[in-house]
């Protein structure tokens, strides 16, 4: 890789003050860990972000969009690619009547505070989440936090798994971290709905070296001959499967029946053509399914009231359509 030539491209786009090479990611994560990124960029406009992405595609460089780095684990080896930091320069929050507009880098806590100041509801859940609007939307932050919500979620997963994969499986595996509670509540729901006892298992980000449950996994141990259904909230890039499928297959001689997620986002994956779910299927050779698709969610909520408010009006629908014209699966 010709770093000097690529650096010149980024500098022409952003100015040299906003382009860094070999920037320690430990300076930009709340855990204060992480080795150097090949390039660390700080754009000031959406046009600059688009230009950065085009350069990355031209140069076949992986890129990662960074918010405020909360709860982000970066290897000591760093990141071999381009980090695009949005937090500081994309944090504007505007309140107009009963509407809040916030850019991707706006802190959730600040948006919640602005909503409180304006007498608006709906952001209460976000007041204690240490992240940004962009990260929350992308990672489905804070969606299921109460007992009744988790119970209902487990039932949705159990019914979808039963419909798509039947009962011929032994273990529900939920990748850390969000997959842990999802696998637990789904195992409970499966027992209640279908009278079948399935085991749950999850991985740890760091291996535990003491106690009766030491090792890399939580819950039930994987055993030779187990049939496993993988389960998580959403699949954005397939990264979690990249990390956990080798762990699962390496722990015992198991068969992975398939993957179930809550929603198919219907965005193109890393390859730029197929969805992330389709890429996972092609890469690992097991079925992938979702409880609902983004298309179904939009169709159901468009101009329909929920708790007295229209969630997706015509203006938001147009914005969603525009987004999927550029990033959706064709």
Q: Which of 69, 235, 240 is nearest to 140 (CA)?
A: 235
- Residue the block writes with tokens 């076949």: 60
Catalytic positions, please? 208, 210
Measured distance CA(66)–CA(320) in Å, rounded? 22
Measured distance CA(327)–CA(105) in Å, rounded? 20
Peptide bond into 48 cis (omega under 30): no
Alpha-carbon separation of residue 74 from 22, 32, 33, 109 (angstroms): 14, 9, 6, 24
For 285: left if phi > 0, alpha if psi spans -120 to 50, otherwise beta; the answer is: left
Whether 200 and 184 have beta carbons less than 8 Å apart is answered as: yes
Question: How many Å from the N-terminal Cα to the C-terminal Cα in the chain?
Answer: 31
Q: Which of 157, 123, 115, 183 is nearest to 291 (CA)?
A: 157
Whether 163 and 153 have beta carbons less than 8 Å apart is answered as: no
CB neighbour list of residue 282: distance below 8 Å, 6 or more residues apart: 274
């Amino acid at each position: 890789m010709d770093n000097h030539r690529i650096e010149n491209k980024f500098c022409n786009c952003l100015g040299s003050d906003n382009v860094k090479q070999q920037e320690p990611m430990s300076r930009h994560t709340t855990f204060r860990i992480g080795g150097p990124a090949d390039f660390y960029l700080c754009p000031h406009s959406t046009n600059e972000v688009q230009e950065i992405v085009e350069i990355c595609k031209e140069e076949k460089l992986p890129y990662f969009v960074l918010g405020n780095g909360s709860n982000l684990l970066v290897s000591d080896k760093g990141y071999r690619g381009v980090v695009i930091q949005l937090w500081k320069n994309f944090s504007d929050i505007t309140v107009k009547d009963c509407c809040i507009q916030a850019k991707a880098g706006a802190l959730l806590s600040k948006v919640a505070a602005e909503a409180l100041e304006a007498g608006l509801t709906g952001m209460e859940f976000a007041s204690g989440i240490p992240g940004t609007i962009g990260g929350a939307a992308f990672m489905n932050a804070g969606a299921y936090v109460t007992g009744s919500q988790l119970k209902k979620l487990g039932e949705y997963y159990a019914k979808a798994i039963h419909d798509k994969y039947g009962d011929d499986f032994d273990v529900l595996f939920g990748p850390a971290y969000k997959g842990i509670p999802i696998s637990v509540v789904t195992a409970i729901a499966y027992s209640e709905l279908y009278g079948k006892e399935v085991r749950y298992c999850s991985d740890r980000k760091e291996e535990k070296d003491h106690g009766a449950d030491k090792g890399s996994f939580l819950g039930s141990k994987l055993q030779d001959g187990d049939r496993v259904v993988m389960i998580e909230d959403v699949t954005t890039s397939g990264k979690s499967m990249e990390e956990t499928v080798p762990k699962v297959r390496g722990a015992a001689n198991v068969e992975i029946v398939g993957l179930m997620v809550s929603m198919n986002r219907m965005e193109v994956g890393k390859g730029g053509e197929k969805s992330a779910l389709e890429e996972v299927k092609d890469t690992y050779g097991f079925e992938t399914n979702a409880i609902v698709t983004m298309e179904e969610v939009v169709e159901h909520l468009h101009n329909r009231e929920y708790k007295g408010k229209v969630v997706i009006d015509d203006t938001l629908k147009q914005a969603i359509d525009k987004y999927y014209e550029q990033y959706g699966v064709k």
